[in-house]
Amino acid sequence: MGRVITIAAAQLGPVPRAEQRGPVVARMVALMERAARVRATLVVFPELALTSFFPRWAIDDDAELDNFFEASMPGPETQPLFAAARRLGLGLCFGYGELANRAGRLQRFNSSALVGHEGGLIGHYRKVHLPGDREPQPGFEYQHLEKRYFESGDMGFPVWRAFGGVVGMLICNDRRWPEAWRVLGLQGVELVLVGYNTPLRNPEAPEHDPLVRFQHRLVMQAGAYQNATWAVAVAKGGVEEGQPMLADTLIVAPSGEIVAYSKTQGDELVVAECDLDRTQSYKTTIFDFAAHRKPQAYSRITECTGAVPPP
């Protein structure tokens, strides 16, 4: 029978800049109710699911910026998500802007929450790889100012025993870095949950634009295969505040094969039955890390930091 969980990747269409939490949370609860009807047990939402992707704007006013962040999780406005998880018996993962208060020092992170079937917070992850700039770039059609608004995550890449397996989270740009996947893989991860907001146009390197979808699939499929894990990538799609976003929500098997993907740009559930035991056929053969990895050799390579010697 295996350890089968039915996962619903809940893609979201655009969220306007001025949208309050109420309507977005209502959209998310509606998707959770649909997921429960198809007997899903885990629902995964995108990066910064609760708001518009605000790093596209230069925001100087702290009060305005704070509107995009949650000071507690759950908070009064996100409580309905936790209540729905409990009522429907669903696990939940969603991205949000985290406003943390560490001994009076305010910190902002790009975070993801993991919620159990009983509606309790299992844990959260803070995005490590922050793309873009600190200052607005002259002439760019859209900014990407994650470095301005967030600190880099300070929790490493944790995994949790949850939903009958070993679960980790990455957020958007993290998925392009093999070391993020590998740190999860080395902890025996069996399911990696990834929310993202990937624009279709990159003003810094427009020559990459035709490859956005290809490169997204490339890293998701390679990350899953090389670490013998299921992987779920969930998009914000559509044209959000004039900026076209990649949809292409995916569920990827440990073989690297895409088993389900979105067909629209808007709110959509992408559902697959994921047997966590399928990870074993890779973890015990080609990617049996204990048997085949060679960390001693890798440290020699990292010692070679100088220039290539002359011939």
Judging by beta carbons within 10 Å of its beta carbon (0-12, 13-18, 19+), is residue 186 exposed, middle or buried? middle
* CA–CA gap between residue 198 and residue 200 (Å, rounded): 6
Among 196, 225, 230, 282, binds ligand CDV (CB under 6 A): 196
In the list 108, 126, 148, 176, the residue contacting ligand CDV (rule: CB under 6 A) is: 176
Give the contacts of 89 (CB within 8 A, at least 6 positions apart): 36, 41, 117
Pick the catalytic residue: 70, 93, 127, 240?
A: 127
- The total number of residues shown for the chain amounts to 311
Are residues 94 and 232 in contact, defined by beta-carbon separation less than 8 angstroms?
no
Interface residue with ligand CDV among 41, 51, 111, 197 (CB under 6 A) is: 197
- Least separation, in Å, of the C-beta of 73 and ligand CDV? 20
74 preceded by a cis bond (ω within 30 of 0): yes
Q: Which is nearer to ligand CDV, 164 or 178 (CB)?
A: 178
Q: Which residue has the tokens 């505040």?
A: 241
Q: Under the criterion CB under 6 A, does residue 131 sit at the interface with ligand CDV?
A: yes
**Is residue 127 among the annotated active site residues?**
yes
Residues 40-79 that bind ligand CDV (CB under 6 A): 47
3-state class of 52 per DSSP? coil
CA distance 19 to 10: 19
> From the candidates 47, 190, 240, 268, which is the catalytic residue?
47
148 makes contact with ligand CDV (CB under 6 A): no
Residue 172 is among the residues annotated as catalytic for this protein: yes
Query: Which residue, 82 or 142, has its beta carbon nearer to ligand CDV?
Result: 142
Minimum CB distance to ligand CDV smaller for 198 or for 262? 198
CB closer to ligand CDV, 144 vs 283: 144
93 catalytic per annotation: no
Q: Taking each helix axis as running N to C, give the angle between helix 21-37 and helix 79-88, from 0 to 180 degrees, rounded to the nearest 10.
A: 10
Instruction: Find where tokens 């966590």 sit.
Output: 276
Query: Is residue 249 at the binding interface for ligand CDV, with CB under 6 A as the rule?
Result: no
* Residue 37 vs 208, nearer CB to ligand CDV: 208
d(C-alpha 59, C-alpha 56), whole Å: 9
Binding site residues, ligand CDV, CB under 6 A: 47, 131-132, 144, 172-173, 176, 196-198
Active site members: 47, 127, 172
